[in-house]
Structure 1
Amino acid sequence: MNPTMAGRYQTIAEDLRRLIAAGNWRAGEQLPSEAELASQYRASRPTLRSALDLLQAEGLVEKFHGRGNFVRRPGDRTVYDSARHTSDRPSAPDSTLRVSVEVRRAKASAGVASLLQVQAGSPLTEYEYVSSADTSVRSVTRLYVPHKVARLGRPEAPLSPWGDNVRELLTAAGVHVASSVERVTSRLPSAKERELFRSPAPVLVVERTSRDVTGQVVEWALLLLPGDRAEVLFTTRTHVVNREEAG
Structure 2
Amino acid sequence: MPSEVPPYLQISDDLRRRIGEGEWRPGERLPSRAQLALAYGVGANVLQRAQERLIAEGLLEGRPGSGTYVRTPTERGRTVRSRYSERRGDSPFRVEQRERGRTGSWESKSYVRTPAPEHIARRLRIATGDLTVRTCYEYLSDGRPAQLSESWEPMSVTADTPVLMPELGPLAGRGVLERMASIGVVVDFAVEVPRPGRATAEQANLLGIPTGDLVTLIERTYFDLDGRAVETADIVVPDSKWEIAYEFPVEHW
TM-score range, shorter chain: 0.7 to 0.9
Give, in whole Å, the separation in 2 of the partners of 1:38 and 1:96. Answer: 46
* Superposed CA offset, 1:107-146 (max 9, x none): 112321221122322221111224589xx97643211011
Q: Which of 123, 129, 136 pairs up with 1:128?
A: 136
- The answer for the alignment partner of 1:160 in structure 2 is none
- The answer for the alignment partner of 1:179 in structure 2 is 189
- The answer for the alignment partner of 1:159 in structure 2 is none
Q: Which letter does structure 2 place at the counterpart of 1:60?
A: L
Counterpart secondary structure, 1:9: helix
* Superposed CA offset, 1:212-237 (max 9, x none): 22322111011234555554322333
Q: TM-score, normalised by structure 1?
A: 0.73
- The answer for the alignment partner of 1:30 in structure 2 is 29
Deviation, structure 1 residue 54: 0.9
State how 1:91-240 maps to structure 2 within 5 Å: 91-92=96-97, 99-105=106-112, 106-130=114-138, 139-151=147-159, 152-153=164-165, 155=167, 165=175, 169-171=179-181, 175-186=185-196, 189=198, 198-200=210-212, 203-225=215-237, 230-240=242-252
For the aligned residue pairs, the C-alpha RMSD in angstroms reads 3.7
Give, in whole Å, the separation in 1 of the partners of 2:103 and 2:67. Answer: 24
Give, in whole Å, the separation in 1 of the partners of 2:174 and 2:50. Answer: 39
Deviation, structure 1 residue 178: 2.3
Q: Which letter does structure 2 place at the counterpart of 1:15?
A: D
Q: Which letter does structure 2 place at the counterpart of 1:104?
A: Y
- Mean Cα displacement is larger for which, 96-105 or 39-48? 96-105
Matched-pair contact (CA < 8 Å) for 1:30–1:69: yes
Distance 1:81 1:219, change over 3 A: same
Give, in whole Å, the separation in 2 of the partners of 1:43 and 1:115. Answer: 48
Deviation, structure 1 residue 97: 8.6
Give, in whole Å, the separation in 2 of the partners of 1:74 and 1:45. Answer: 27
Counterpart secondary structure, 2:137: strand
Count, aligned residues: 230
Distance 1:8 1:168, change over 3 A: farther
- Mean Cα displacement is larger for which, 99-108 or 196-205? 196-205
Distance 1:35 1:230, change over 3 A: farther
State how 1:14-53 maps to structure 2 within 5 Å: 14-53=13-52
Give 5+ residue unaligned stretches, structure 2.
none
* Superposed CA offset, 1:73-114 (max 9, x none): 224446442126448793116859985433212111232122
Give, in whole Å, the separation in 1 of the partners of 2:3 and 2:110. Answer: 50
Distance 1:61 1:229, change over 3 A: farther
Give, in whole Å, the separation in 2 of the partners of 1:98 and 1:87. Answer: 16
Give, in whole Å, the separation in 1 of the partners of 2:55 and 2:147. Answer: 17
Q: Which letter does structure 1 place at the counterpart of 2:216?
A: L
Percent of residue pairs identical? 28
Q: Which letter does structure 2 place at the counterpart of 1:69?
A: T
- Mean Cα displacement is larger for which, 72-81 or 87-96? 87-96
Give, in whole Å, the separation in 1 of the partners of 2:83 and 2:22. Answer: 38
Deviation, structure 1 residue 190: 8.5
Deviation, structure 1 residue 62: 1.5
Give, in whole Å, the separation in 2 of the partners of 1:164 and 1:59. Answer: 36
Give 5+ residue unaligned stretches, structure 1.
157-162, 242-247
